[in-house]
Amino acid sequence: MFYALVLLLLGMLVVMIVLSTNPAPFYGVFNLVLVALFCCGASVLHGGTFLSLVLLMIYMGGMLVVFIYSSALSAEKDPEAPAGWQVLLFFFGYLFFVFGILYANTVLDEEVWWGISGELDWDSIFRGDMEGVSLMYSSGGGVLLLGAWVLLLTLFVVLELVRGLDRGSLRAV
């Protein structure tokens, strides 16, 4: 279980480095989706099943808006793939920097604990994510609805901004 969590976090790290060195927005949006999947998978392995599902749905809604916006504004016939020597130089530079920091932290710190911490309190019968979900739907319900409304409104605004010469997404019948 611990090795699966480390592999998910390592995959998230590599995809984030590829995202930061990527020249084309098409591949950038795909990398953001992969980062969301890796993060939610790590959250599932840590024990937060329902909250990671909600976060994944929110991330995918946001990525839909970003993908529409980036594909409409930068429509290239042949998008540049991340394979140039400058991209590889930045990729390995970032990777060397991150692993250098991790190595320095491990060598300089005498008590390094790479483990999973449990979030179950002894005075509670629920896990931390279930308590947060109940608060999100009870006292935080207004903020949840406001966030959903803002995402929907942002989607329609972006679709109207990038409509071009056509009538757009909001057509008058």
**How do residues 29-52 score in pLDDT, each as one tens digit?**
778 888 888 988 888 887 777 778
Query: In the numeric block, which tokens belong to residue 2?
Result: 């611990």
Which whole number is the average pLDDT over 7-23? 83
Q: Which residue has the tokens 């970032």?
A: 94
In terms of pTM, does the model score above 0.85? no
4 occurs within a structural domain: yes
19 occurs within a structural domain: yes
**How do residues 111-165 score in pLDDT, each as one tens digit?**
655 554 555 555 666 666 666 667 767 777 788 788 889 888 887 877 777 665 5
36 occurs within a structural domain: yes
Decide if 23 contacts 82 (C-beta within 8 A).
yes
156 occurs within a structural domain: no
75 occurs within a structural domain: yes
Quick one: pLDDT at residue 117?
52
161 occurs within a structural domain: no
Counted domains in the chain? 1
**How do residues 50-98 score in pLDDT, each as one tens digit?**
778 887 888 777 777 767 666 666 666 666 666 677 777 888 888 888 8
Measured torsion, CA atoms of residues 53, 55, 57, 63, in degrees rounded to the nearest 10:
-140
106 occurs within a structural domain: yes
Q: Which residue has the tokens 């920091």?
A: 101
Measured torsion, CA atoms of residues 14, 15, 20, 22, in degrees rounded to the nearest 10:
120
94: containing domain: 1-111
